[in-house]
Amino acid sequence: MISQNISRYKIVSRIASGGMGSVYLARDTKLERSIALKVLPADVAADASALARFRQEARAIAAVNHPNIVVIHSVEEVGDTHFITMELIEGRTLSDIITDQGIDLEFFFEIAIPLTNALEAAHAQGVTHRDLKPANIMVTDAGQVKVLDFGLAKMVRAGADIDIEKARTETLLAEELILGTPNYMSPEQVRSQPADNRSDIFSLGAVMYHMIAGQRPFKGRTATEILASVIKDSPTQASVINPDCPLQLSHLIERCLHKEPGKRFQDVSELRLQLEQIRHQVDQDGQGLIHSIAVMPFADMSAQKDQEHFCTGIAEEIINALAGVEQLKVVSRMSSFQYRDLGGDPREIGQKLGVQTLLEGSVRKAGKHLRIIAQLIDVSDGCHIWSQRFDREPRDIFEVQDEIAQSVVKALRLTIDPGRENQLVGIRTNDPAAYDFYLRGREFFRRWGKRNIQIAQRMFYQASDIDPEFASAHAGLADTYSYLFMYINSSPENLEQADRNSARALELDAALAEGHASRGLALSLSKNHEAAIRSFNTAIDLDPNLFEAYYFCARDLVVQGKYEDAVTYYDKAHEASPDDYQIPILQAQIHHALGRTRKEEAANRLGMELAEKAILLNPEDARACYMGAGAMIRLGQEKRGLQWAKRALALDPDDPAILYNVACNLAGIGQIEDAIDCLERTVKVGAAYKDWMMNDTDLDPLREEERFKTLVASLDQPG
């Protein structure tokens, strides 16, 4: 066809060829521009299904207007010749760029992130690529990434202009492998099962693996062997093959390549966000952030095994101290503590957490004798970098914690701000008994639920009675009263106590970040929003890693209707504690209010997964149960959501917060009578959530029920 004319296009040369046609460099004589012209072979055009796929490709590409996807100009036919005209991409394919050593990290992100942008745009239009591979990815001479050849794309959006059911039953038989590339195909494609957006995520994972490792994840001498490898083999971690690959990136790729679609990223936007976060981290590494560490909860070696709160407190204080070292990335408490009772090889735990070092230890406490053993472990080989035994008295605990933190900094050869050289861990109280009660209170507070909060309150009172100037104990008391006001009894007395104790905490220590966060929450509940935001921001200035400051600030912004600002603070809370399940589930509610369906679904899915992790860490976390249940129900997993809701109720059937939220779960699946039963029990145990019952959209299915109307009318106390 060289030098021939097709319509107004003069064929100049062949660029490439494949099972779905040949691509030529052509000249548009009317518009005086060079184009790419893809011609369907005559024998293939005679095949009705092949012709349909060809036309489908045109529709798929034309449906998406994105700078990282090739632009289609027209779909034409002249006689028996069917062809597409597209923008001419001048550059190299990714398959020509990747070497046996892979590509450098900076270039990797320059390609990988635009690829996620392209797929995100395509998926938003209901288009899956189904044949993503290095040969279908171009990098222009100007460095722009372009995704080519949607020849296997399938329209999946409702109302798309093809037979959806027929598309779902399409098969990829062995003799048709020219329509797909075995090395990058998902297991479901290999098995001839329906392939959705998660199949593209698998293929993208295979492409990223090839880029970073310099080799394909699945190998074989024949197509059959490669397909078998895709189904049964787990490739060697990319970070093992390429030591320059960050562990977080290696784990991200590993998740993309999971055999089960449900365990991959469920949305490309989530994948893109994590890639951007890893890239940001890598950029920081180049600016001096060169170490990462996870601090594990210390093991309780005491004879009575009753010092879990003390072991947890030691680890938390060290986490807080190390988080202030600029050159060190410290994994959040929730992320590292999920391995508390699971045991395992420190190297494996460190790799899963994406850190270079692990700090672990043990505590043996008996009367006035305290023995603490700490050791810093290199994750790469499991060897000890530093270890030490401390034989002290309980009153020396802050000194020991500081010595451990200082030793970690010294062992990793990091520098400390001049003002913190002598002390990393702040002294909260000089009385070890007060500190012990405080730690017990904090442990119970984090378990949620009416009973746990009441126990926590007693512990904080004990601590403040022993040491009236213990600021942290007063901040803890303020938080318990705020919780009671929000979830149990919205009485003026609870709000007054929250206000009084938070103010007292700051009188005792104006530089206490958690005190400012507690103060902000009390002010927020008093509807003094402007002062609350100031308090939250002061807490953040004092401790940029304080989860509670971001979390409660976001909730205050939601109350004010400032949804976009709330999302920003929720994002920061997520950065401070990436494994907290509340954040994505609460963000999903904002996305629902703003009509962002895809983001709502992705957030609910992430929240559900994190709630499952939280239950493994603490099987009695009723809040994780009912919030996870809500996410499941919104994702269509009603049966499982109901099981989780019942589990929450079984943990404490008289807790009004549990009863109310389970009622919301039940309303969401149409169990109207059971939902109203829960609400009636909520009122019976002493809580009156009148404002919530009147305005909560989760309860909309109950609005026309007479029992519900009667219940709401009977409430005099606002909640």
Residue 419 banded pLDDT, cuts 50, 70, 90: low
Residue 607 CA to residue 30 CA, distance in Å, equals 55
Contacts of 549 (CB under 8 A, 6+ apart): 513, 516, 517, 520, 536, 537, 539, 540, 543
pLDDT of residue 518: 97
Is the pLDDT at 525 greater than 60, yes or no?
A: yes
CATH of 428-578, one of 3.30.390.50, 1.25.40.10, 3.65.10.10, 3.40.190.10: 1.25.40.10
* Structure confidence by residue, pLDDT tens digits, 57-112: 677 777 788 899 988 888 888 888 888 898 898 899 999 999 999 999 999 999 99
- Do β-strands 357-366 and 291-295 pair in parallel, antiparallel, or remain unpaired? parallel
636: exposed, middle or buried (Cβ count in 10 Å: 0-12, 13-18, 19+): exposed
pLDDT of residue 19: 59
| Cα–Cα distance list, 586 to 221, 237, 533, 552 (Å) | 50, 34, 19, 12
Is the pLDDT at 505 greater than 90, yes or no?
A: yes
CATH code given to domain 291-420: 3.40.50.10610
Residue 417 banded pLDDT, cuts 50, 70, 90: low
Q: Locate 351 and state its tokens.
A: 């790799």
Q: Region 696-703: what's the mean pLDDT?
A: 86
pLDDT of residue 18: 66
CB atoms within 10 A of CB 207: 27
689: exposed, middle or buried (Cβ count in 10 Å: 0-12, 13-18, 19+): buried
Contacts of 284 (CB under 8 A, 6+ apart): none
pLDDT of residue 176: 40
Task: List beta partners, residue 377.
Answer: 358, 384
Q: Which residue has the higher pLDDT, 532 or 45?
A: 532
Residue 678 CA to residue 661 CA, distance in Å, equals 9
352: exposed, middle or buried (Cβ count in 10 Å: 0-12, 13-18, 19+): middle
pLDDT of residue 583: 94
Which residue, among 225, 230, 277, has the nearest Cα to 251 in the 3D structure? 277
Q: Which residue has the higher pLDDT, 354 or 269?
A: 269
Residue 673 banded pLDDT, cuts 50, 70, 90: very high
Phi, psi of 83, deg, nearest 5: -155, 160
pLDDT of residue 342: 60
Among the residue ranges 25-39, 415-429, 438-452, the one predicted with the least confidence is 415-429
Residue 535 banded pLDDT, cuts 50, 70, 90: very high
Q: Which residue has the higher pLDDT, 92 or 425?
A: 92
* Structure confidence by residue, pLDDT tens digits, 208-248: 999 999 999 998 888 888 999 999 988 888 877 887 887 67
Q: Is 100 a catalytic residue?
A: no
| Cα–Cα distance list, 48 to 51, 53, 54, 153 (Å) | 5, 9, 10, 17
Q: What percent of the chain has a predicted confidence (pLDDT) above 70?
A: 90
Residue 178 banded pLDDT, cuts 50, 70, 90: very low
Contact between 715 and 686 under an 8 Å Cβ cutoff? The reply is no
Is the pLDDT at 177 greater than 50, yes or no?
A: no
pLDDT of residue 159: 42
Q: Region 667-694: what's the mean pLDDT?
A: 85
Residue 521 CA to residue 558 CA, distance in Å, equals 13
Q: Locate 80 and state its tokens.
A: 């028996």
Catalytic residue among 47, 96, 100, 131: 131
pLDDT of residue 286: 61
Q: Which residue has the higher pLDDT, 35 or 378?
A: 35
* Highest mean pLDDT (candidates 188-192, 380-384, 460-464, 609-613): 460-464
Say if domain 5-87 classifies as CATH 3.30.200.20: yes
* Structure confidence by residue, pLDDT tens digits, 549-605: 999 999 999 989 899 999 999 999 998 888 889 999 999 989 988 999 999 999 999
pLDDT of residue 213: 93
The CATH architecture that domain 91-286 belongs to is Orthogonal Bundle (1.10)
Domain ranges of the chain: 5-87, 91-286, 291-420, 428-578
pLDDT of residue 152: 52
* Structure confidence by residue, pLDDT tens digits, 124-176: 888 888 889 999 899 998 899 999 877 555 555 434 443 433 333 333 333 34
Q: Directed axis angle between helix 597-617 and helix 268-286, to 10°?
A: 70
Among the residue ranges 167-181, 314-328, 486-500, 527-541, the one predicted with the least confidence is 167-181
Q: Which residue has the higher pLDDT, 99 or 53?
A: 99
* Structure confidence by residue, pLDDT tens digits, 481-504: 999 998 888 789 999 999 999 999
Among the residue ranges 27-41, 257-271, 346-360, the one predicted with the least confidence is 346-360
pLDDT of residue 297: 87
* Highest mean pLDDT (candidates 127-136, 198-207, 275-284, 406-415): 198-207
pLDDT of residue 346: 80
Q: Please, what sign has the CA dihedral across residues 417, 420, 422, 424? A: negative
Residue 319 CA to residue 336 CA, distance in Å, equals 10
Q: Region 420-438: what's the mean pLDDT?
A: 77
| Cα–Cα distance list, 79 to 102, 140, 278, 719 (Å) | 46, 34, 53, 74
Q: What's the mean pLDDT when you consider all of the chain?
A: 85
